Amino acid sequence: MNRNANKINMGFWEKLPRHFFCLAPLADVTDAAFRQIISKYSRHGEKDGGPDVFWTEFVSADGLASAQGREKLVIDLKYSENERPIVAQLFSSKPENMFKAAQLAKELGFDGIDINMGCPDRAIERQGTGAAHIKDPKVAQEVIRAAQEGAPGLPISVKTRTGYNVNQIETWVPLLLEMNIAALTIHARTRKEMSKVPAQWDTIKRAVEIRNESGKNTLIIGNGDVKDIADGIQKAEESGADGVMLGRAIFGNPWLFDRTRDIDSISLEEKLQVMVEHTKLFETLLGQYKNFSIMKKHYKAYVQGFEGARELRMKLMQSNSTQEVEEIVSNFKRE
């Protein structure tokens, strides 16, 4: 089929392999510290390494649009050169604020901008954004257009769900494709389903068909219940998705995107060493801006499945600094 590509700014997206793998934006998880750890231990940029694309945590465009908010939130847009290509994920229902935030993302050197139109959090929805965009496609389109105009030259993408209360793929996807976005990530559940039911990957397959019928070259990325790279490859082949996004599988497993290693082959010694390294990096990069308690959800994931894990985990949950974590781990190794 002859695809109408001339209006779509694909940017880095057109250089990616098929099937490519992305790290999902997870609030208070995939921050600058954890992304650097993932980049190192998943061998990003190397043969059989990954991910192919990094996302920041989602950031409020409304906040970034004000001087006071920008000062507080810009830390969430911190990244390093070894994470490229890196996409800034923004959310807002106000086109004028999305325009300003997109301008900032371009100034900061991001490779692309992604707009969150799938977050089910009530506080986000009350602002008319996240999954609430599915109920108001006109505003959704205005927000996308604002990002495109605010950051000319940068590819704009969208992350969303299959629908709000019911599957709306047949109407929702065409409205997004109409905006000539470079990529569309679809979490294969509705907003109502949250994560309570299995992801419906047949909806990803249908989204690919709709894209093909439209003549657009927008890339379709599938998301939901992907256990590992092998599972992702299978889902991509069955659905026809161009790429796959992994989220929850990254917890406690920064080796996830390295196709040459399996989590079961990682020694306890290495897991604990990487956990301490992650903690040090968090304190160095983000310590003065973020609460140390953010690290504790990582400790729950790193420390499981071995003798003494529960006791070690309980001690780590009481820690408040890198020094304390190092001492706790050192004592555990001596026991």
35 touches 55 (CB < 8 A): no
Q: Whose CA is closest to 227, among 216, 235, 219? A: 235
The CA-atom distances, in angstroms, between 201 and each of 34, 225, 237 are: 28, 9, 11
- Is-catalytic flag, 119? yes
Which helix (H) or strand (E) covers residue 334, if one does?
helix 322-334
Beta strand residue intervals within 123-209, DSSP E: 156-161, 183-187
d(CA 285, CA 135): 38
Omega before residue 25 within 30° of 0, cis: no
- Residues in Cβ contact with 28 at an 8 Å cutoff, skipping those fewer than 6 apart: 57, 294, 297
Selecting among 65, 98, 119, 156, the annotated active-site residue is 119
Phi and psi for 157 in degrees, rounded to 5? Answer: -130, 170
User: Residue 64 in contact with residue 88, Cβ under 8 Å?
Assistant: no
Q: Please count the helices (runs of H) and the strands (runs of E) in the chain.
A: 13, 8
Q: What is the DSSP string of 210-250?
A: HHHHHT---EEEEESS--SHHHHHHHHHHH--SEEEE-GGG
Q: Is 151 in contact with 224 (CB distance < 8 Å)?
A: no
CB burial readout 311-329, b (16+ within 10 A) else e: ebbebbeebeebeebeebb
Positions marked catalytic: 119
